[in-house]
Amino acid sequence: MKAKLNQYTPEIEPHMQSHLAAIVEAVYQKYGYDFRQYSEAHIKRRIMNRMAMSGLEDISQMPSKILNDEEFAFKLLQDLSITVTEMFRDPGFYRSLRENVIPILRTYPFIKIWHAGCSTGEEAYSMAIILQEEGLYDRTAIYATDFNQRALNRAKEGIFSNKLMKEYTANYQLSGGKESFSDYYTSNYDHVIMNQSLKKNIVWANHNLVTDSVFAEVHLILCRNVLIYFERELQNKTQKLFYDSLINGGILCLGAKEGLRFTDLYEKYIELDKKQRIFKKKY
């Protein structure tokens, strides 16, 4: 892990940096997951939380624990994964998607969409709902990827807590939803199951933005609120990956705290929506 910090993170003490570096190096060497260019603040927060939950007294114990206790290491990997998501998160973004991106997608005979870092799948299902309402889903393939296989398995099941449906319904309505949100799932006691019609064109796949190469030639990429956890060098590397994966004229959607302005690729995109961070790759 580099001493240079992500622009979004506060200073971390040098002695703590060395411990964090030893931990992420142990994870990489033993299990092949590379967190060495993730934000140190994110790494520290998740590691300290796992320490407290595990009863470890000293952070220096963690590398050995990771190397010799696979169950502990698996829990830490889940901690380090970015799994914050919800249906129609940031409704203003989805409203802009309907207004500014859907008309462009209509011009293609077949549409390929990449949800990078899809976590447990809520936003991929949100996209499927929009495409269904706009009459485009039957000619679309959604590739939803993440390196966290446990999250992917949950996404594929499409089973979510009933307690979340009130919030998700409000998000859906604010995003410009055209139907009743309850039509898209079946209630089953304390859970809901997303309709099979939404699952049919979603391909769930394991892909690591840190270590894997170009995913596919796609018309639309969504990777929202993931890059903020990366250091600058890894952000640039990932942005290049997205650029190479998009067709000319393809659309890139980032999170509210992310952008292209300070990257080498900024001049190669047209800004479709400055506030919602939606960009179109130039021809």
Cα–Cα distances (Å) from 270 to 28, 108, 129, 274, in that order, read 37, 19, 27, 10
- Whether residue 7 is predicted with pLDDT greater than 70 in this model: the reply is no
Task: List the single range of 73-82, 83-92, 128-137, 215-224 with lowest mean pLDDT.
Answer: 73-82
Q: Which residues contact 87 (CB under 8 A, 6 or more apart)?
A: 122, 123, 125, 126, 160, 164, 168, 171, 172
Q: What are 268's two structure tokens?
A: 């190669």
Count CB neighbours of 73 within 10 A: 19
Residue 196 per-residue DSSP state = H
Tallying the residues shown for the chain, one arrives at 283
- pLDDT category at 1 given cuts 50, 70, 90 is very low
Sign of CA dihedral 157, 163, 92, 38: negative
Cα gap 272→274, rounded to integer Å: 7
Q: Which residues of 24-39 are buried (b: 16+ CB within 10 A; e: fewer)?
A: bbbbeeeeebbbbbbb
Cα gap 15→273, rounded to integer Å: 42
Cα gap 236→232, rounded to integer Å: 6
Cα gap 63→128, rounded to integer Å: 42
Q: Please write the tens of the pLDDT for every residue from 44-85.
A: 989 999 998 888 888 999 999 999 999 999 889 888 887 779
Residue 219 confidence (pLDDT): 98
Q: Where do the domains of the chain lie?
A: 14-80, 91-281
Question: How buried is residue 198: exposed, middle or buried, by Cβ count under 10 Å (0-12/13-18/19+)?
Answer: buried
- Whether residue 19 is predicted with pLDDT greater than 80 in this model: the reply is yes
Strand ranges (E), 91-194: 111-116, 140-146, 159-161, 185-188, 191-194
Task: Indicate the fold that domain 91-281 takes in CATH.
Answer: Rossmann fold (3.40.50)
HSE-up of residue 72 (Cα within 13 Å, Cβ side)? 22
pTM: 0.85
- Whether residue 187 is predicted with pLDDT greater than 90 in this model: the reply is yes
Q: What's the farthest any 2 CA atoms get from each other in the chain?
A: 59
- pLDDT category at 162 given cuts 50, 70, 90 is very high
Nearest CA to 220 out of 86, 92, 135, 97 is that of: 97
Q: What are 144's two structure tokens?
A: 């939803």
Residue 275 confidence (pLDDT): 95
Q: Which residue has the higher pLDDT, 245 or 32?
A: 245
Task: List the single range of 162-166, 253-257, 273-277 with lowest mean pLDDT.
Answer: 253-257
HSE-up of residue 180 (Cα within 13 Å, Cβ side)? 4
Tell me how many degrees the CA angle 48-51-55 measures, rounded to the nearest 5: 145
Nearest CA to 162 out of 128, 123, 121, 194 is that of: 194
